[in-house]
Amino acid sequence: MATTVSTNIDANAAQFVAQTRKMLINGKWMAAASGKTFPTYNPATGEVLAMVAEGDKEDIDRAVAAARKAFENDSPWRRMTASERGRLIWKLGDLIDKHTEELATLESLDNGKPLTVARAADVPLAAELFRYMAGWTTKLEGNTIPLSVPYTPGARYHAYTLREPVGVVGQIIPWNFPLLMAAWKLGPALAAGCTIVLKPAEQTPLSALRLAELIMEAGFPDGVVNVVPGYGETAGAALAAHPDVDKIAFTGSTEVGKMIVKAAAGNLKKVTLELGGKSPNVIMKDADLEIAIPGAASAIFFNHGQCCCAGSRLYVDAAIYDKVVEGVSEQAKKIKVGPGLDPATQLGPLVSDEQLRRVCGYLESGFSEGAKAAAGGHKVGDKGYFVEPTVMVNTKQNMKIVQEEIFGPVVTAIPYKNVEELLPAANDTVYGLAAGIWTTNINKAHSLAAELRAGTVWINCYNIFDAALPFGGYKQSGWGREMGHEALELYTETKAVCARYA
Ligand code: NAI
Ligand code: MG
């Protein structure tokens, strides 16, 4: 059974975890068809935090049927004007703000991240995303298009395009930013007028379930948003393969992304993917180290390195390499590791025992291949899933820790001699999600930005996100973009209408 959470936390959050959470289908809170439940854990202690209804194929079938019904032509959702739809989405953003403390506490309890970070970043960014998308509902315009059909008397043509919602959308999200990933997915889908079945990650289902309550409170019609918690291999796989789902949007591992593509082939549903990364972060000789050193530390240690865009390969000009490694290592050693609810904590536990084992496995593999730790390198304590902020040196390009996504607070620092040597090394990865450049020479910055194969390039900053800025990957980091109007377009179909008139 769920353990009691300490009483000096937000009372609403404490109450939320004290009850077995149900799933939302067609506006109603239901147990799983099978009656099964599963535990979600507190990563700071390894104890069960709450029990949650375990969705499976049958629940996904019900949720998809509800979403399909809510998408019918004469449904309340489809009859709603664009402006009314926008106001609902805006209201949801405001409700998120109103419940900041509760949502941030749930996020910290379920994922492990510092409460201070969830309060300052995850929750307000989620609210802002909905408000940004709310403004688009009234701006989804098509075009009028001149045709060149040869003239015959009595047959002229008027042609235009409509942007219509893609339909019923399945969305599968990960555990690193549980609420924010739900917002990134739901925001554009709702703005476009789609209906949705959302499956949160099994490690962190709570904030999405609380968000679902706020969605109902905002007044979205039944069935527009359905939330089915459960495991990837069961609920997730059923959603990806479902023949009545028009689009699947996925964020998670590249490995599962490839499985989603195969599962989607059955009915050729549209697919967007936001997958892994191994992002190069480059510090040039002329960088302002006052900002570059803390910037490089935060690029990897933010969210405990559990970011798809983490700056995990730090390339440093050989002339300043020792100084930078020393500086970033000092930062790493200063970081306060502890439970997310402690206000002094800067780096919380990893999300799960599985991630702890995965990250420690990478550390061991690095050491066995000859890498050394300039800072950190070990697990912390026996309780919870804590790992020290780690700076690895003495690495070689072909090592696993340089090639593979670790998804933990581990950066590999690599010296380079000149840009001719840097560029092929930086681009030598199957991923292409993000990159960072630190330099005071704006010419060099833009020329390197143009040559890096990555969906986002940050110059003299890192991990800056904005609802208006598209985010997504080149190469095996994914298909399509999240946020910005590009995300919205990926939730619409273009209909060309061509009419003959005399
Ligand atoms: P995962 O890719 O297995 O999980 C992400 C989501 O996909 C979860 O909701 C999960 O339930 C679902 N899922 C899993 N298998 C599925 C299937 N067969 N069909 C449909 N849905 C499925 O990621 P996992 O195992 O939690 O983490 C493994 C690694 O993936 C991490 O170490 C990290 O490298 C990467 N990852 C990347 C993320 C990103 O933001 N791009 C987020 C989470 C993990
Ligand atoms: Mg997995």
The radius of gyration of the chain's CA atoms, rounded to the nearest angstrom, is 24
The CB of 172 under 6 Å from ligand 1? The reply is: yes
Angle at 242 between CA 62 and CA 273, to 5 degrees: 120
Residue 66 — very low, low, confident or very high, per pLDDT cuts 50/70/90? very high
Please state, in angstroms and as integers, the Cα–Cα distance from residue 392 to each residue in 74, 116, 315, 370, 421, following that order. 59, 28, 12, 10, 20
Measured by CA distance, the residue closest to atom 10 of ligand 1 is 232
Nearest protein Cα to ligand 1, atom 11: 232
Question: Ligand 1, atom 43: nearest CA belongs to which residue?
Answer: 252
What predicted TM-score, i.e. pTM, was given to this entire model? Answer: 0.98
Any atom of ligand 1 within 6 Å of the Cβ of 201? yes
Which residues 6+ apart lie within 8 Å of 468 measured at CB?
A: 132, 483, 484
Instruction: Give the other-Cβ count within 10 Å of 199's Cβ.
Output: 31
Q: With a 6 A CB cut-off, is 406 part of the ligand 1 pocket? A: no
Is residue 1 pLDDT above 50, yes or no? Answer: no
For all residues of the chain together, what is the average pLDDT?
97
Q: Is the predicted pLDDT of residue 47 greater than 80, yes or no?
A: yes
By the 8 A CB rule, do 222 and 245 touch?
no
- Give me the pLDDT at residue 382, please: 93
**Dist. CA 367–CA 370, nearest whole Å:** 5
| Ligand 1 neighbour 308 (Cβ under 6 A) | yes
85 Cα to the center of ligand 1, angstroms: 31
User: Which ligand 1 atom sits nearest the alpha carbon of residue 405?
Assistant: 34
| More confident site: 97 or 2 | 97
C-alpha to C-alpha distance for 431 and 414, rounded to whole angstroms: 18
Edge to edge, the sheet with strand 28-30 lists 28-30, 23-25, 225-227, 195-199, 168-172, 247-251, 270-274, 478-479
Q: How far is the CA of 231 from the centre of ligand 2 (A)?
A: 9
Residue 309: the pLDDT is 98
Query: Is the distance from the beta carbon of residue 371 to the nearest atom of ligand 1 less than 6 Å?
Result: no
Ligand nearest to the CA of 405: 1
Q: Which residues are CB-contacts of 501 (< 8 A; sequence separation ≥ 6)?
A: 156, 157, 158
Residue-wise over 54-71: b if at least 16 C-beta within 10 A, else e?
bbbbebbbbbbbbbbebb
Asked whether 421 lines ligand 1 (CB < 6 A), one says no
The predicted pLDDT at position 212 comes to: 99
- Cα of 494 vs centre of ligand 1, distance in Å, is 31
For the CA of 354, the nearest ligand: 1
For residue 410, the CA-to-ligand 2 centroid distance in Å is 20
Site to probe by mutation for ligand 1, drawn from 239, 253, 308, 358 as the one with most ligand atoms within 8 Å of Cβ, is 253
| Ligand 1 lined by 477 (C-beta under 6 Å) | no
* CA distance linking residue 143 with residue 495, whole number of Å: 10
Q: What is the pLDDT of residues 226-243, one digit of tens each?
A: 999 999 999 999 999 999
Q: Catalytic residues, which ones?
A: 274, 308
Q: Does ligand 1 have an atom closer than 6 angstroms to the CB of 230? A: no
What residue ranges define each of the domains in the chain, with the CATH number in brackets?
56-275+479-496 (3.40.605.10), 280-467 (3.40.309.10)
- Using the predicted structure, report yes or no on whether residue 4 has a pLDDT greater than 80: no
Please tell me the distance from the alpha carbon of residue 11 to that of residue 324, in angstroms, as a whole number.
Answer: 44
Percent of the chain's residues with pLDDT above 90: 97
Give the pLDDT confidence score for residue 5 in this predicted structure.
56
pLDDT tens across 71-123, in order?
999 999 999 999 999 999 999 999 999 999 999 999 999 999 999 999 999 99
Ligand nearest to the CA of 178: 1
Q: What is the pLDDT of residue 153?
A: 87
Note the ligand closest to the C-alpha atom of 304.
Answer: 1
Percentage of the chain exceeding pLDDT 70 = 99
Report which protein residue has its CA nearest ligand 1's atom 13: 232
Question: Does the structure show a pLDDT above 70 at 462?
Answer: yes
pLDDT tens per residue, range 131-189:
999 999 999 999 999 999 988 888 899 999 999 999 999 999 999 999 999 999 999 99
Indicate whether 2 pLDDT > 60: no
- Token readout for 312 is 């995990």
Is the shortest distance between the CB of 114 and ligand 1 below 6 Å?
no
- Do 282 and 438 touch, CB atoms closer than 8 A? yes
Q: What pLDDT shows up at residue 151?
A: 84
